[in-house]
Amino acid sequence: MSKYSFTTYPAINSLLLAALLAGCSASSAPPSNPHATEVGVLTIKSSPQVMVTDLPGRTNAYMISEIRPQVGGIVRKRNFVEGAHVNAGDLLYQIEPAPYQATYASAEAAVQKAEANIVSIRAKAQRYTELVKINAVSQQDDDDIQASLKQAEADRASSKAALDTARINLDFTKIVSPISGIVATSTVTPGALVTANQETSLTNVQQLDPIYVDVTQSSNDLLKLKKQFAAGKLKRTGHDEVRIRVVLEDGSEYSHEGRLKFSGVSVNPSSGAVTLRAVVPNPDGLLMPGMYVHALLDQAIDEHAMLVPQRSLTRNSRGQPTVLVVGADDKVELKILTVGDTIGDSWLVTSGLSEGDQVIIDGLQKVKVGDVVKPVFPQADASAGDTNQTAGASAKSVENR
C-alpha cells in the first residue's frame, strides 16, 4: 500500500493542469523580437505654417529729384556739401539775380504807371457819365472814355502779369531742394553758365528713408498662389500689407522689416515675371540704391501644413521623394510623397502622408522595407511639436497684423 493518501491526488492534478494551460498560453503568444533595430521616429502633426517666399530684388530710392535750372544765367554760389543731407526748401545754387531784379523793377514800375493812368481815366469817365445825362457831352465822347477806362484796366492786368512773371523768374535764381534727402555730386561749379530746363541736371537729391525694395516673382508662381487662395488651401497673412524681411548681400538679415505696398499689374514679356514693390525703413542709411538683396515675404498661411525633416526624405529611381514610415506591427513601409517648398530644414508635404504617420528620421541606413523595428521618439519629436506651436503662433500674429 502506497504511503500517499488518495486525498492528495486532486491537488496534484490541479497543479499539472495549471502548468499545462500556462504552457499552451505561452506558446500561443506572438514571439517577441529582442533584436529589432531601434529607429528614431517623428510623428507627423499638421499645424498653421507661414509660407515664406524668397525673391531676388534691388533697392531703389523712395524719391529722386533731378535738379535743373528754370532760368538761365551764371552760377554765383553752390550752397551744399556733396553727399550731405538737405531738407526740403534748402538753397542749393544761387544764379546771378541782377538781370532778373532789373526786370522785376521794370515790371513793378509798369504796374504803378498803369494804376496811375486808371485813376485819371476813371475820374474823367465818372464825370462824363453825369454830363451825358444832361447832354453836356455827346454820347460818343462818353463811349470813348468808357472804352479808354476798360483799356487802362486791361493794361494794368497785363502789367501785373508781367510783374508776376518777373517775380517768379527772380525766385528761380535761387535753386532749392524740393525734397529732403541725400544730395549727390554737383555737375557745375560757381561761374558756370546754365540755361533754363537744360538736359543735364546740376545734381540730384534722393530720399533714402524709407527705401524701396523691388523684387520679381514669376507669373507662374503668382498664378499658383492666387489659385490656392481661391480654393481655400491657403489663407492671406493680412488684410492689406504683407510683411517683408530683407537679406543683404553678405547673407545677414536686415534689422528692419518692411511692408509690401504694390504688386505689378503686367508681366514682363522677356522675363515672365511680375514686379513687387516693398517699402523698408532705412534710418541708418545702410541700404543704398542699386544694392542686390533677397526679400523674404510672408505671402500666405497654410493652416494644415505637414512638415518632414529634409534628412528623412530620399528619392527613388524615378526621382520621386519618398520616406520610410513605421506601419502596422512595427514594420517599415515606403511612402511616395509630393512636396512643395522647403521651410527651414524641412520639406512641406502636400500629399502622401497623413496626420499621425510615424516617419523614420534616424537609422534609415540600418533598415529596409518590411523590417520589424523598434520606434524610438527622440527629443527631436518634442522639439518638432514645439516648432509647430511656434509656427502656429507666428501665423496667428501675422494674421492679426
- Average of per-residue pLDDT across 347-357: 89
Place of cell 517599415: 332
Per DSSP, 331 falls in state: B
What is the percent of the chain where pLDDT is above 70? 80
Has residue 265 got a pLDDT over 70? no
Residue (of 150, 165, 179, 260) closest to 213 by Cα position: 260
Report, as an integer, the average pLDDT of 46-66.
88
Q: What is the CATH number of domain 38-49+304-400?
A: 2.40.420.20
Q: Round the average pLDDT of the chain to a whole number and report it.
A: 82
Higher-confidence residue: 102 or 48? 102
What is the reported pLDDT for 341?
77
Look at 59-68, 103-112, 212-221 and tell me which has the smallest mean pLDDT.
212-221
pTM, to two decimals: 0.64
Q: What are the tens digits of pLDDT across the range 59-87?
A: 999 999 999 999 999 999 999 999 999 99
Q: CATH 2.40.30.170 residue ranges in the chain? A: 52-61+208-302
> How many whole angstroms separate alpha carbon 196 and alpha carbon 211?
31
Contact between 265 and 191 under an 8 Å Cβ cutoff? The reply is: no
325-346 burial, b at 16+ Cβ within 10 Å, e below that, comes to: bbeeeeebeebebebeeebeeb
Residue intervals of the chain classified under CATH 2.40.50.100 are 63-204
Q: Which three cell numbers stand for residue 247?
A: 537679406
What pLDDT shows up at residue 229?
Answer: 59
Mean pLDDT of 271-278: 84
Say what the pLDDT of residue 390 is. Answer: 39
CB distance 75 to 94 below 8 Å: yes
Task: Say how far apart CA 203 and CA 183 lie, in whole Å.
Answer: 7
What CATH topology corresponds to 63-204?
OB fold (Dihydrolipoamide Acetyltransferase, E2P) (2.40.50)
CA dihedral for 219, 222, 228, 232, sign (positive or negative): negative
Would you say residue 5 has pLDDT above 50?
Answer: no
pLDDT of residue 320: 92
Tell me which of 210 and 268 has the higher pLDDT.
210
Picking from 62-66, 182-186, 297-301, which range would have the lowest pLDDT averaged per residue? 297-301
Topology classification of domain 52-61+208-302: Elongation Factor Tu (Ef-tu); domain 3 (2.40.30)
- Over its C-alpha atoms, the chain yields an Rg (Å, rounded) of 44
Confidence (pLDDT) at 282: 94
Which of the pair, 164 or 34, is modelled with greater confidence? 164
pLDDT at 234 over 60: no
H/E stretch holding 356 reads none
Q: Where in the chain is the domain with CATH 2.40.420.20?
A: 38-49+304-400
Give me the pLDDT at residue 179, please: 95
Amino acid 172: pLDDT = 96
Whether residue 37 has pLDDT greater than 70: yes
Place of cell 526748401: 89
Rounded Cα distance, 357 and 343, in Å: 20
Residue % of the chain over a pLDDT of 90: 45
* Residue-level pLDDT at 231: 62
Nearest to 249 by CA among 295, 294, 296: 294
Whether residue 261 is predicted with pLDDT greater than 90 in this model: the reply is no
Render pLDDT for 359-380 as a digit per residue (tens, 0 to 9). Answer: 999 988 889 998 999 888 866 4
